Every structure is written in structure tokens, then in C-alpha cells.
Amino acid sequence: MKLYIGNKNYSSWSMRPWVLLTQADIPFEEIMVRFDAFTPDSQFKAALKAVSPTGKVPVLVDDDLVVWDTLAIAEYLAERFPECELWPHDQADRARARSTCAEMHSGFTALRGACPMNIEAHLPEAGALIWRDNPGVRADVNRLVALWRESLEKSGGPLLFGNFSVADAYFAPVCTRLLTYALPLPEDIAAYVHRVCGLSGVKAWMDQARAEQDFLDFEEPYRLHR
């Protein structure tokens, strides 16, 4: 299998299936397509349009099958590798896990917009201003706290549904955002964030993101240079 991704420092959508594959020890070939721009004439769009109809990352290619969108990729991998138990075994837990992923997929727009993923950066000053001035971000973080706390209390931890699942991979980029911008979290939720970032697959992505050293000004609203 081949997984097409963008820059590890910035591409939150790419991070999800990469972490899922890596943490589950599923072999794949990584193909990184650098973000130069997102205009129709960009090299990024040209490279991806040759693979996927959307021209976006991530894209999973398995023989002649092309799967795009993170949720579709996660579902395909769960069916292709049932022994990895990427979704919880219990039916009710699976439904809740899918609901949490779908909520992330379509929601938390204030947090995602105001705090773009930037693993290499440490931006507590920007985070403090965002937290003070953006009620949407505060509402999104409060929803994350409630959502994660409910899952952790039901499962007993250490991860959202006990063992590692798609849900933890799906929220891994959010965990990095919370750290980058030093947004305030209750102690139990901060502990979950650090557990996720300590997973071998997540740590590998974060280490490689820090090593990229590829500054893209259009991805950096809070820094003019590294």
C-alpha cells in the first residue's frame, strides 16, 4: 500500500492515517507531496490530481484501489486488517468511536481555523491571545474536554476506548495543537494528550515533523520566519 501525505509539520489530515498505519504495524510506503501552494496550477495539486480526483491528501492506494478522505481510509483499513482491531470490539463502543471521529471530521472549526497544526512551533503567546479573544475556540476546547472525559471514564483508559483505536489517531493532530498553543486543559485531559503524544506512532510523526525544517509562510499566521 502507498499513502500520499503532505508536510508532516502542517498536514493534520495526513497525520491521522499515517499514525493509524504506523501504530498498528501495518506495512505501507509513504509518499510525501510537499505543500508549495494549493492553487490549481501548484505542483502539489498537479501531483495529487494524478492520483486522486480531489487533489488533496491523504490518499491511500492499494493495488488499483484509490481511497481518499481520512474516514474512508480508516474504515477500509479496519476491514482490510480486522486482526488489528482498529475500532473497539463492543458494538456500542464502536458506534461511539465512530461518532467522535465524525464530530472531529465535521466540527471544531474554530479551533482548527485559529490554531493550525504546527508541531515544530511553540506559540503560547499566540495561544493566550486566541484563548482570550476567541469564544469559538474556548467552546471547542470545552467540548473536547467533555467528549474525551466521557470516553475515558466509560472505558477506564488509558486511551479513549481503552486500547488504541481510530479515535485516538483521529484526535492526535488536535493533541499537538493543544500543546503548540499551550491552551489550558484540566489535569486529566492534559494527561490524555501526553499519553497520545507518547504513542510510538504519534511520536514518530512528531519527531519527523520537527526534522523537516521546511518553513511555509502561508501555513504560519503567527510567525514571519522560523
Structure confidence by residue, pLDDT tens digits, 199-212: 999 999 999 999 99
12-27 residue pLDDT tens: 999 999 999 999 999 9
Phi, psi of 163 (to 5 degrees): -80, 165
pLDDT the model gives residue 225: 77
pLDDT the model gives residue 86: 98
Question: Pairing relation of β-strands 59-62 and 29-32?
Answer: unpaired
pLDDT the model gives residue 223: 87
Q: Where are the domains of the chain?
A: 2-84, 91-208
pLDDT the model gives residue 50: 92
| Domain 91-208 CATH assignment equals 1.20.1050.10 | yes
Give Cα separations from 201 to 15, 84, 110, 168 (angstroms): 10, 14, 27, 11
215-225 residue pLDDT tens: 999 899 998 77
166-200 residue pLDDT tens: 999 999 999 999 999 999 999 999 999 999 999 99
pLDDT the model gives residue 226: 75
- pLDDT mean over 130-141: 98
Question: What's the CATH architecture for 2-84?
Answer: 3-Layer(aba) Sandwich (3.40)
Those residues whose C-beta lies under 8 Å from the C-beta of residue 65, and which sit 6 or more positions away, are none
pLDDT the model gives residue 215: 93
Average pLDDT, the chain: 96
pLDDT the model gives residue 98: 98
pTM over 0.85: yes
- pLDDT mean over 109-137: 97
Q: List, as one string, the DSSP characters of 90-149.
A: SHHHHHHHHHHHHHHHH--HHHHHHS---TT---HHHHHHHHHH-HHHHHHHHHHHHHHH
